[in-house]
Every structure is written in C-alpha cells, then in structure tokens.
Amino acid sequence: MKFLKNCKNASKEIIKLIHSSNKSIFDKTQKGFGGDISMNIDLLAEQIFIKHFSKQGNIYSEECGLIDNKKEITFIIDPIDGSFNISNAFPYYGSSIAVKKNGKIIKSFIINLATGDYFYKSKKTRIENNIFYNKKVTSSINEMILFEKAYANIDICQKLANNNIKYRSPGALALSLALAHRCKAVIFKGDIREFDIAAGLHFNAHLNIKIKNDIILVAKRKKDFNKLSNILFKG
C-alpha cells in the first residue's frame, strides 16, 4: 500500500498549499504540455507528485509531459483537476494518478482536494474513504448526470433538453469519472487526454463505458447507458 500512502501524503501537501495565504498560487503562467494555460498551483502540485513518485517510476503529467526515469512503470498524473474551480472557491477539484505497467493501468487514485474524499483501486482492493476522517464517501447524486465541458457542446445540450434530461457540469473530469458509479451517468466531449481519464476509468472499469471519437459515456445502469448512447452517438 506504499502507492496509496504516497498519494495521501502528496494530497495533504497540496491541500495545505491551496489553503495557504499565498495568493500567487493562482497566477497564470505558461501553456503546459496538455495545452492549457497553467496556474502556479498546477506546477507546484506537479512538483509535489514528482517528489513522491519519480524514484519509483516514469512520470507522465499534464504540465511537464514525460519524464523518462528508465523505470518499468509510469505514473500518469493530473496534478490539479479543476484549477478554475479552486481559484473561484468552488469545492469540486482534485488530483488523479494512475499506474501503468506493460501498457495496462494497474492502480488508480483520485481525490477531491476540497473534501478529502478519495477513490483507490488496485488489482485486489477498491477503497472509497476520506484522508481526514475515517468515513466512506456519502452517496448523494444517484439520479444526477455529470456532463463535463457542456459549455463547449451546445448541440449535445440541446439534444438532452429535447429529451427532458437534466445534467450538471462541475468542471473536473477525473473526479466526475471517479464518481460515475454514484451518479446516473458521466458524459464528456472534447480532447481526450490520458492524464484526464486514466485513473477515473480504471476505478470504474466495471461500469458501462463507450468511447467514440471525442465522446465518453459512462453509466452504471444499462437502460440509462442505452438511452444516452442513442442520443449521443446516433443522428
């Protein structure tokens, strides 16, 4: 469980940094490897993960790209998932890290840094808990659809509206994918990047999943999956 321990320790460091009085962490910097303009908090969080994991494996991260440490495993990292939410005090942001070996994801960790709720999966273990309190993540979104990047996909928004389907767009893809088993469905349309989806899809690999072109659909119930598939992938 060394991986899980390191993930927790790194997360606590990042949370402490977010709650510090240093407002410069929200200053924008240069464009990162993933194509987005990075904030200082993105870069600082990445350095924290590199510190905890670079001795154990290669690093593939949204900000710096690939750091080849000549290791057998690679850590696929999204240091901050939802940095816009952090800078606007919206409590839905996190970090995600997946472990890749021989082309397959073998472990995953996703955390909501605002609440401390985390999701961990290995070959034999699947854990939902909180790094601060010994409690399981509460379930409160059973009938909700999370549609990430809805603002950029008005055509899909109109299709959902035509079918009287409500949704929310919280703005942190990895975290939404980790919550897919607790909500009705997760939808995403946009540039699909490995560090955004690797951990979340691994954690919920047992659900109904379809990825086609630039659209991702994940749903726990087959009837919801089929209905949304007809809306998203046909016509």
Q: What is the pLDDT of residues 174-190, one digit of tens each?
A: 999 999 999 999 999 99
- Give me the mean pLDDT over the 209-227 stretch: 96
Indicate the average pLDDT of the chain.
Answer: 91
pLDDT at 121 over 80: yes
pTM value is 0.92
pLDDT at 29: 67
Query: Structural domains in the chain?
Result: 2-130 (3.30.540.10), 145-233 (3.40.190.80)
Q: In the structure, what pLDDT confidence band is assigned to residue 72 with cuts at 50, 70 and 90?
A: very high
pLDDT at 30: 65
Integer Cα distance of 141 and 139 in angstroms: 6
pLDDT at 31 over 70: no
Integer Cα distance of 38 and 110 in angstroms: 20
Q: In the structure, what pLDDT confidence band is assigned to residue 62 with cuts at 50, 70 and 90?
A: confident
Q: What is the pLDDT of residues 137-165, one digit of tens each?
A: 666 678 899 999 999 999 999 999 999 99
